[in-house]
Amino acid sequence: MCGIVGLFLKDKSLEPQLGALTNTMLGTMCDRGPDSAGFAIYSAPAAGKTKITLQSANPENDFNGFGASIAYAIGTEVSLDVRSTHAVLTIPEDKIEAAQSAIKTAHPSIRMMATGSSIEIYKEVGYPTDVAQRFELASMSGTHAIGHTRMATESAVTTLGSHPFSTGADQCLVHNGSLANHNNLRRELRHDGMTFETENDSEVAAAYLTWRMNQGLNLGEALKKSLDDLDGFFTFVVGTKNGFGVLRDPIACKPAVMAETDQYVAFGSEYRALVNLPGIATARVWEPEPSTVYFWER
């Protein structure tokens, strides 16, 4: 069992409240996944800039002087915004590879959680409301967000094993369920050059979609293909820079409820997650069908 929440805003006036709304939604899903939690939050990109979300087990040491070190290595100014165990490094977009290489070689204890012009990912072991508070989710703004509360089944309770998983620029996936063929699929994807940080089944699903999108498919097409290639139970919620997708396996035993108004599209593992959204009383509320790709793009 895990809990998923997602909110894709259509109405710009709600963007300053995205974090607060997501925070409330995530809080209702604590008992579906009390061991760890995480969220991806997307905001409008700054021209010519890219962000890398970083995580460290010793943030006081690792992030001290880190910005200056990267600025020196890539030869340009950077900015670093530290939030608890995570930090967002903002750099010119043409310096992304140089920065990644500098982090790997000079700062091996720092992990890269996500990269892209819009995405930031925060995730940790702990009770979901504590995790959300630690990163001050309620104060964040943006265009869309996806959150997850985890009750681990397929791999250890660790920071890296928490959701969301990001395996491509501005992409993320959260999963409720378990995959049966992730070991085989991981081997095949590795053969094609994909890299993995964990033994987690959900990371394989994320990498699979990235691999498909690298072949030129859009998110909706990649999700449709996954129905042929992924074996197991899943409800996925997936984010891209401009998009938001939902997919359930053909058996569809992992719960899902969606709501749509003129202002937003929202996802919850249960209706409880949606009850505090504005206008929910008159929203179109439905249960997504099995084997059916739901996909919104801005």
Partner 1 sequence: MRTVDLSKTSLRELNHDLHRQSSGANEMHWEVINPMGLHAVAVGVDAPIQVDIRGSVGYYCAGMNKHATITVHGSAGPGVAENMMSGKVHITGDASQYAGATGRGGLLVIEGNASSRCGVSMKGIDIVVKGNIGHMSAFMAQSGHLVVLGDAGDALGDSIYEAKLFVRGSVKSLGTDCVEKEMRPEHHKELSELLAHAGVEDVKTTSFKRYGSARKLYTFNVDNADAY
Residue nearer to partner 1 on the CB measure, 45 or 290: 290
Q: Does 227 bind partner 1 (CB under 8 A)?
A: no
List strand residue ranges (DSSP E) for the chain, in order: 3-9, 36-42, 49-55, 79-83, 86-92, 111-116, 119-125, 144-150, 172-179, 232-239, 243-248, 257-260, 264-268, 284-286, 294-297
**Quick one: which segment of 83-91, 106-114, 167-175, 286-294 binds partner 1 (CB under 8 A)?**
286-294
Q: Which residues of 174-197 are buried (b: 16+ CB within 10 A; e: fewer)?
A: bbbbebeebeebbeebeeeebebe
| Contact residue for partner 1 among 46, 215, 253, 279 (CB under 8 A) | 253
Q: How far apart are CA 42 and CA 164, in angstroms?
A: 13
Q: Does 232 bind partner 1 (CB under 8 A)?
A: no
**Quick one: which segment of 72-80, 113-121, 210-218, 249-257 binds partner 1 (CB under 8 A)?**
249-257
Is residue 253 annotated as part of the catalytic site, yes or no? no
Q: How far apart are CA 236 and CA 214, in angstroms?
A: 19
- Tell the residue number behind the tokens 């010793």, with chain if given: 58
Here the tokens at position 275 are: 């009850």
Q: Does 252 bind partner 1 (CB under 8 A)?
A: yes
Q: Does 1 bind partner 1 (CB under 8 A)?
A: no
Q: Please measure the distance between the N-terminal and C-terminal CA atoms of the chain and give it in whole angstroms.
A: 31
Contacting partner 1 within 261-280 (CB under 8 A): 270-275
Here the tokens at position 25 are: 């939604």
Q: Does 30 bind partner 1 (CB under 8 A)?
A: no
| Contact residue for partner 1 among 255, 260, 261, 296 (CB under 8 A) | 255
**Quick one: which segment of 35-43, 108-116, 229-237, 250-258 binds partner 1 (CB under 8 A)?**
250-258
Residues that bind partner 1 (CB under 8 A): 250-253, 255, 257, 270-275, 285-287, 289-290
Q: Give the residue numbers marked as catalytic.
A: 2
